[in-house]
Structure 1
């Protein structure tokens, strides 16, 4: 049993400095705190609720649907803290909004990648559950992200993501002075052959924790680099933000349809189209 001085379960969370009244039921999770402004630009309104360390939180609405965003910083350890503390104040749905490196040649810089699951090549989720436990996105969140990308007319790809713990060695890049980690030279080719779509650094921990806690999670990332073709440009960030924001509104509509039908889960018979 945790001692009182070690217990993070106060009304206002230790790292995020948010309480139950500060956030909506769905929270977007970008890494970079500076990305928050680009996300809320797609909302009807917003208010900054907290900013502590790398964690910056705002809450507002999209087409009348409550929505929040909390930046997580880089990597799975800090992303897991965000999920833990947001879950403690009542958040039930998480959508990672980020950037990534694509692994398949047909994927263009600026395209979106919607993750259905993730290869757990980060260590944070290993501290929660056995290593063969799958990191899977919630299919309702995946469906909402696909529907949003379709409505917005953005090019997207759906499939598996690999989440790494480092930007350089863990993603097959050389370290300082040309250092190469064991196996790094083959990493990209192995992932490509396994039909993994992209590499980033947070999705698998977010998915794993959400699954363990019975919550919903998904991810949409903009392609900044293609590791197969060598293309690199920092573009498409706004597309991921807009897609995730619209998906939050669509999820709210899906939940309303479920309640009206007395259904526990979304299915193809519950159309959003009138």
Structure 2
């Protein structure tokens, strides 16, 4: 079926609309970062950089490290941006732009998020690295897709009951990582976690500056949630969207979190830039060794 121009939107040079990329611009291994400035902090380690493109908050560098071609893409913050990035990355490899048709042969991407996060469990150290085995999304992104087959309703339902989740908020959804890709990235240096993906940085994560939150006990409810030994460990703003859309589109995804804050102890990293750099180097080594 031919995709209409209002659905598959291309620029004048036939690049995909938001990312401003052509199919040949992207590698099959993609590192995503939220901050556009962090793209160069990853690509500076490449042996060579073949491409630098950008549009809005979406910056892409593609290059080679130890013989492996890798792309780094900035997503900006939030699952609304993840919806754009994941769909357009998939379009670059699985849609024929000339024919405007889905290709018969599917190409699988490996997508690795490198981001910052705040822990909500006191035992998780500042400057540690956490691999998200599960993510619970408080956004509504996956609810706009036919996604029931990839969601864990049992954990979701237990969480809603435990927190007495307001009916006026989006229904949380639970997705997990790709175990095969995680086996490449994993080591004893990584804490395993259950990540909560929030729709904002302040109120949705229980921060109070001048505004009162709807549930003053939300973070303590999150921290005390337990399902078959599984506890929510940290808060951030993209992982559930990455995991959900990757599964629906047939890609592999993992999320790596640099713990720069611990909300339960009130600590913040004294050296966040150094810690993120260490996680970048760790990830690149694991992908190319």
Which bin holds the TM-score, normalised by the shorter protein? 0.7 to 0.9
Alignment match, 1:76: 79
Alignment match, 1:211: 247
Alignment match, 1:243: 282
* 2:177 is the counterpart of 1:145: no
Distance in 1 between the 2:218 and 2:183 partners?
30
Alignment match, 1:181: 213
| Dislocated runs of 4+, deviation >3 Å | 129-134
Alignment match, 2:102: none
Alignment match, 2:200: 166
* 2:124 is the counterpart of 1:107: yes
Per-residue Cα deviation, 1:102-142 (whole angstroms, up to 9, x for no partner) = 11112222110111110111222222235746321100122
Distance in 2 between the 1:66 and 1:52 partners?
22
* 2:232 is the counterpart of 1:196: yes
Distance in 2 between the 1:248 and 1:180 partners?
44
Shift of residue 145, structure 1, vs aligned partner = 1.7
Distance in 2 between the 1:204 and 1:41 partners?
28
Return 5+ residue gaps in structure 2 as ranges. 94-107, 154-172, 226-230
Distance in 2 between the 1:231 and 1:63 partners?
37
Counterpart of 2:190 (choices 150, 156, 162) is 156
Alignment match, 1:14: 17
Classify the secondary structure of the residue corresponding to 2:24.
coil
CA contact (8 A) 1:115 1:219 kept: yes
Shift of residue 43, structure 1, vs aligned partner = 2.5
CA contact (8 A) 1:206 1:217 kept: yes
Alignment match, 1:4: 5
Shift of residue 97, structure 1, vs aligned partner = 0.8
Over aligned residue pairs, what C-alpha RMSD do you find? 2.0
Distance in 2 between the 1:85 and 1:159 partners?
28
Return 5+ residue gaps in structure 1 as ranges. 251-274
Shift of residue 75, structure 1, vs aligned partner = 0.6
CA contact (8 A) 1:67 1:248 kept: no
CA contact (8 A) 1:222 1:239 kept: no
Alignment match, 2:97: none
Distance in 1 between the 2:54 and 2:10 partners?
19
Shift of residue 188, structure 1, vs aligned partner = 1.4
Alignment match, 1:259: none
Alignment match, 1:263: none
Shift of residue 2, structure 1, vs aligned partner = 5.9
